[in-house]
Amino acid sequence: MAKNNFFYILDILSIFCLKSLFLGEELEIKLPKSSTILFVNIFILLIFTIFVYVLLYKNISLNKSKNQEVVFYQIKEKSSVLLTQVLYKYSLIKDTILEKNLLAIELIKSGFSLDTIHYELNKEFNDNPFDLHILNENMMVENSSISSDICLDLSYLKNIYNTFPLEVSVPEYMDKFQKFASYINTYIPNSNKILQLSFSYNDVGEELKELQNFLNSNSNIQAYESFIYFDNYIGNFTFKGTKSSKYNNDDMEIKFQKAKRMLNILQDFTYQSYDEKVNKDYLHMIYSIQNSPIFDKVKLIFGITFNENAYQKDILSIRLLSIFMFIIGALTIFLIYRLRTIELLLNYKDKFIAHSIHEIKTPLSIISINTQLREKLFGSDKFTNKIEGAIRTLENSYEDMTFLHTKDKIEYEIIDINLKKALENRVKYFDTIAQTQNRIIKLDIANNYFIKMGKIELNRLVDNNISNAIKYSYIGSTINIVLKDNILEFHSNGQKIHDPKGIFKRYKREDKNTGGHGLGLAIVSDICKKYNFQIEVESQNSINTFRYILS
């Protein structure tokens, strides 16, 4: 058949061009614009993803560092204010404590009871700041003005007070009472016992409470520990935590070891920080030491432990999200790369068809004219009919290719068309093709129906349905075209259609053994979408029906 021969030649030329492509011969095929734009956009998205990740990472890290820095300086300022106030009170009361200590020793020597001595020491004060402890040689409290402290083990003081008597100690924070106190320890004459006289700084409670409230309100601060350092003496300053009900030697020893560890880390520096992971917690430690503005030898050592679990979760979240987006982008680029060859082939096939339109027109016209001349000179016979059928098949394919090439470039004039006459003309045109293929076309028109659309578009819709019916119907079968009101149907006898929607896609053919370019029904689909025609396809009992509901 002339039609099949034409597409065999088309396929051979396509194969030749594809071989040239893969063998490296010069064949200039540009990447389709859509793929290029998509590829570039996804590549930009990947770069943007990396940029956003770096930006978010730096922003979150910077915010975390800034917040920690702000908290650090706030704590440093509040601690400095508290230390200054406590030391100022200490400087004012130190001599009084020494005097009261001498008075207490004299009263003990005179045999006065501890309650009487306690009264005498505090009678000048409203808040009873002085308390007394009588310690044995093992540093156990035998008697005290605070009854709950009797039998209290203060042996940890042996590691602090190396010689007795000592000067009045710098103020130290007491967990049990949550206030500051200074001590002086003196041997009681003619005994192996020690008098410990303490003075509580009750008038600095507001500043202390303000610092502790600030520490407790900041959820990112996991721990805060500070110590007073004076001539190798280490005393508690403040801690973030709950009130302790009693002293514990082990706890005190742990705190002193922490203070020594801070000093070892700081060495000659006033500020040190580092990260550490403890169990499942991510921690950031900041250690600092500052001098007292009142006493040069007194230093405040403090350590802040920030919990960075929330920060690590944020970093992990943006990292996972960035990795996910990067993987999706990379997979998309990979798929585009793999599908590029297919797209190139389809693009080349479209270009080849467009070029073929111009090459086919002249020889097709020559063949048609010569066939008509031969028929006039020698009359019509079976060979003439076959040639005419093949020519009309080629003309139909030519019209399809021309329509595809021009449909987006020109606007077809919309006119009122008598659908009955249009169908009669197209059936008459295809009658020769049907006869050469041993098919019969019957037309059943119930009424006249006028439709507004482009004449060429209507011809493409009707011609491709008739051509499709001839091509896929059984030999010797009848093709029925029915028009009733606004419903146009094409009925043919043939194999069952397995994918009714897929056959309207470009280059899609259910029976690949049957000749064809896979463009006819795709053209029909485009025309129906343009004019909002509904398409229905039925395939039952070897009867295939294409129904078009015209608007």
Element (H, E) at 406: helix 382-406
User: What does the alpha-carbon distance between residue 511 and residue 117 come to, in Å, rounded to a whole number?
Assistant: 116
pLDDT in tens, 101-135: 999 999 999 889 999 999 999 999 988 899 999 99
Q: Pick from 75, 397, 113: which is nearest to 211 by CA?
A: 75
Percentage of the chain surpassing pLDDT 90?
A: 24
User: What does the alpha-carbon distance between residue 82 and residue 205 come to, in Å, rounded to a whole number?
Assistant: 10
pLDDT in tens, 19-42: 433 433 333 444 455 667 777 877
Q: Pick from 498, 528, 525: which is nearest to 512 by CA?
A: 498
Lowest mean pLDDT among 102-106, 141-145, 195-199, 363-367: 363-367
pLDDT in tens, 39-66: 787 788 888 888 888 888 888 889 988 9
pLDDT in tens, 235-278: 778 766 544 445 556 666 777 778 788 888 888 888 888 888 88
Domain boundaries, the chain: 51-313, 399-551
CATH number of the domain at 399-551, please? 3.30.565.10
Q: What secondary structure letter does DSSP report for 30? A: P
User: What does the alpha-carbon distance between residue 389 and residue 381 come to, in Å, rounded to a whole number?
Assistant: 12
Residue whose tokens read 């009797």: 150
Element (H, E) at 357: helix 309-378
Q: Tokens for 472?
A: 């896929």
Query: Is residue 293 reached through a cis peptide bond, with omega within 30 degrees of 0 on the bond before it?
Result: no
The pLDDT value recorded for residue 252 is: 66
Alpha-carbon dihedral sign for residues 33, 35, 40, 45: positive
Helix axes 382-406, 455-472, angle to 10 degrees: 130
pLDDT in tens, 294-321: 887 888 888 888 998 888 898 888 888 8
Neighbour-count burial of 104, counting CB atoms closer than 10 A to its CB (0-12 exposed, 13-18 middle, 19+ buried): buried
pTM of the full predicted structure?
A: 0.53
Sequence-separated (6 or more) residues with CB below 8 Å from residue 173: 179, 180, 235, 236, 237, 238, 239
The pLDDT value recorded for residue 147 is: 87
Please provide residue 380's backbone torsions phi and psi, each rounded to the nearest 5 degrees: -95, 140
End-to-end CA distance of the chain: 38
